[in-house]
Amino acid sequence: MDLRYLREHPAQLPVFIQHQRIRETPVPGGSICTAQRLTLDDGSSVFAKSLADPPEGFFAAEAAGLRWLRAANAAPVPEIIAELPSMLALEWIDHGEATPAGAEELGRGLAGLHRSGAEAFGAPWPGYIGTLWMPNEPSPLSWGPWFAQFRLRPFLEASINAQTGALTRDDIAGVERVMSEISSYGGDEPPSRIHGDLWPGNVLWDRRGRGWLVDPAAHGGHRETDLALLGLWGGVPHHDRLLAAYRESWPLADGWQERVPLHRLYLMLVHTALFGAAYGDSVRSLLRAL
């Protein structure tokens, strides 16, 4: 099997793996999926991520998001080589180190990606973030009410239903207060085409120092969400350069800095739902900031 054959016959990939016709090398790929480098007969490689018994439509949702982001032709997004119910194979990116120039290039690319827009908040495909279902039905709501109803509330409820004790009664009341007062934070804009889960680990830097967007939860959302998540956990390398280049390409609305905790609250609630109490303090810190 070579890369051309795989593109033409993607459904054959599991058969070739099962019969050891492809060299498999484990690689870092996150805490949810199994990640491997698959080396083909012609010496080319692909990146494969798989999950035993994934939720229905799990990889189809990621593939739809990758294609949608890639169609904007703005920021680097890997090509899909094979899309299967339990596996996704993407073009292989040789890993490297971020450079200041690469970070600035990604900042400008993100501005172009966001400017390409979306027809509505949400997306025309079912969504996932991690293994959690993410409500994506396109909505006519303005950004604030949409964000409260479709991004904060579902993951607050998922955190409560997980019964891990991650959130206290005061935490739950605090998130509900933010949702009820969300219009007071301002920042309403038309929907942008966003990655949706753009924490620093979902930017892959290649040998030229360019940043590639991977593992999206793509949808029509607020561009500030992507930028806020890029600053989490120490931020992407050269974060200040990236943000400056973005703002030169497309200035941000007044008050964007005060809204950073609001956008991050969405992802922290995803984490309390998936991973429990380890992220409870992060939710409380964001609520205090808000």
Give the per-residue pLDDT at 25: 87
Tell me the residue type at 64.
A
| Residue count of the chain | 290
Span 252-259, average pLDDT: 96
37-48 confidence digits (pLDDT tens): 999 888 889 999
To 5 degrees, how large is the angle CA 67–CA 17–CA 76?
25
How far apart (Å, rounded) are the C-alpha atoms in residues 271 and 129? 10
Residue 209: pLDDT above 80? yes
Tell me the residue type at 12.
Q
Query: 220: which 2 tokens?
Result: 């029509």
260-275 confidence digits (pLDDT tens): 999 999 999 999 999 9
Span 8-35, average pLDDT: 82
Give the per-residue pLDDT at 165: 87
- 87's enclosing H/E stretch is strand 87-91
How far apart (Å, rounded) are the C-alpha atoms in residues 201 and 30? 9
Q: How far is CA 94 from the centre of its chain?
A: 20
215-243 confidence digits (pLDDT tens): 999 999 999 999 999 999 999 999 999 99
Give the per-residue pLDDT at 199: 96
Residue 18: pLDDT above 80? no
Residue 10: pLDDT above 90? no
Is the model more confident about 21 or about 254?
254
SS3 call for 159: helix
Query: 180: which 2 tokens?
Result: 């009820």
64-74 confidence digits (pLDDT tens): 999 999 999 99
How far apart (Å, rounded) are the C-alpha atoms in residues 267 and 115? 23
Is the model more confident about 141 or about 16?
141
Give the per-residue pLDDT at 40: 87
Residue 24: pLDDT above 90? no
How far apart (Å, rounded) are the C-alpha atoms in residues 181 and 262? 11
| Structural domains for the chain | 3-91 (3.30.200.20), 100-289 (3.90.1200.10)
Q: What is the pLDDT confidence band of residue 258, given thresholds at 50, 70 and 90?
A: very high
- 21's enclosing H/E stretch is none
77-94 confidence digits (pLDDT tens): 999 999 999 999 999 999
Q: Which residues pair with 194 in a beta bridge?
A: 219
90-116 confidence digits (pLDDT tens): 999 999 999 999 999 999 999 999 999
Give the per-residue pLDDT at 30: 66
- Looking at every residue in the chain, the average pLDDT score rounds to 94
How far apart (Å, rounded) are the C-alpha atoms in residues 110 and 104? 10
Q: What is the pLDDT confidence band of residue 16, given thresholds at 50, 70 and 90?
A: confident
DSSP state of 278: G
Residues in contact with 31: Cβ distance below 8 Å, sequence separation at least 6, in sequence order: none
| Percentage of the chain exceeding pLDDT 90 | 84
